[in-house]
A and B are shown apart, each in its own frame.
Chain A
């Protein structure tokens, strides 16, 4: 299929001019694990400086909101997260490094956002938060922040195995009018420029993160939707099974990188 490779080549030719592989050979310390590199290492020094300082990182506005909500009683059961989970820095440690996980009661994978809403609806008898609402983003960032620095290490065997395989297949499947798979960008061309962005390896370890373009915090599924749309493919809904399976696959790709949530990106 000749026209396909032509489309792809022309996109990356555009990139090549500005590209340069300025970052090879640098020592990225904790932001790299073997060949894997966090999206942090592809950012400009200015953007990295914002992430380095929790005060300058605007994502912490959401983390603070999550922290406040942690001990707020809501719902008919008259409980807050803290009523059952106590101090988040102990009870939530590790969650951000290991999710999504297989949920027996549902017979499928769930991610942190969905686990939080499961606790709200089933255990607090409260309304679930909408995906991408500041409450759900804030609580997810707060929960994942308790694992900051821990190596990403999700479980992909046992009951999770078949979902992992589906996520992997999604990652390598060409789609959209441009007929490109995730791997065509994030495996084959990291380091190159694509329009105004420097392509990274597409690692998920800093989500939810503050994107300067969004001017707010956004979830990993928002990023998936953006990446689907930019090859002119139909995006899947937030929290869809397809995206949760994909989330497990990209978390597995990131194993060994530290949880950065909440990061800052261009």
Chain B
């Protein structure tokens, strides 16, 4: 399945409120420890190794991922509503590919 990010944020939040952000990305998270059943050769590691989240241009969340993290990694965190702005998500793949997603945070 193609790698595709999903993000869930509240439709509206009050200024100063702490809200939950949920993320999930479809990815095989190949650990680099498995062997090809036919050839016996190691299957090269290919995982998402980082998630970076910026809110109004400022980094609010960052995580390093390691090979023991499951396929289709789910990550959620809390942050505080400051103003209506974009929240930008970047997942970084071992092969250098960046998967991006933007969500609108509406603060009233």
Contacts and interface: CB of A to CB of B under 8 A. Distances in A.
A and B bound? yes
Interface of A: 55-56, 58, 61-62, 65, 134, 212, 215-216
B70 to A, nearest CB: 6
B47 to A, nearest CB: 12
Q: Is chain B's interface secondary structure helix, strand, loop, or mixed overall?
A: loop
Contacts of B70: 212, 215
A58 B29 CA distance: 14
A61 B4 contact: yes
Given A65-B1, A134-B1, A58 B72 contact: yes
A62 B72 CA distance: 11
Contacts of B26: 58, 61
A56 B29 CA distance: 17
Contacts of B72: 58, 61, 215-216
Contacts of B24: 55-56, 58, 61
A55 B71 contact: no
B8 interface: yes
A48 B28 CA distance: 22
Top 7 closest pairs, chain A to chain B, by CB: A215-B71, A58-B72, A61-B26, A134-B1, A55-B8, A55-B22, A56-B74
Nearest to B22: A55
A55 B1 contact: no
Contact of A61 (B1, B22, B29, B76): B1
Interface string B61-90: 000000000111010100000000000000
Contacts of B15: none
Interface string B15-35: 000000010101011000000
A62 B8 CA distance: 17
A196 B70 CA distance: 18
B1 A58 contact: no
A215 B70 CA distance: 7
B87 to A, nearest CB: 16
Nearest to B73: A58
Contact of A62 (B1, B6, B22, B74): B1
A64 B29 CA distance: 20
Contact of B22 (A56, A58, A134): A56
8 contacts: A55-B8, A55-B22, A56-B22, A56-B76, A58-B24, A58-B71, A61-B4, A215-B28
B74 A58 contact: yes
Nearest to A137: B1
Contacts of B71: 58, 215-216
Contacts of A212: 70
Contacts of A61: 1, 4, 6, 24, 26, 72
Given A55-B6, A56-B24, 19 more contacts: A55-B8, A56-B22, A56-B76, A58-B24, A58-B26, A58-B72, A61-B4, A61-B24, A61-B26, A61-B72, A62-B1, A65-B1, A134-B1, A212-B70, A215-B28, A215-B71, A215-B72, A216-B71, A216-B72
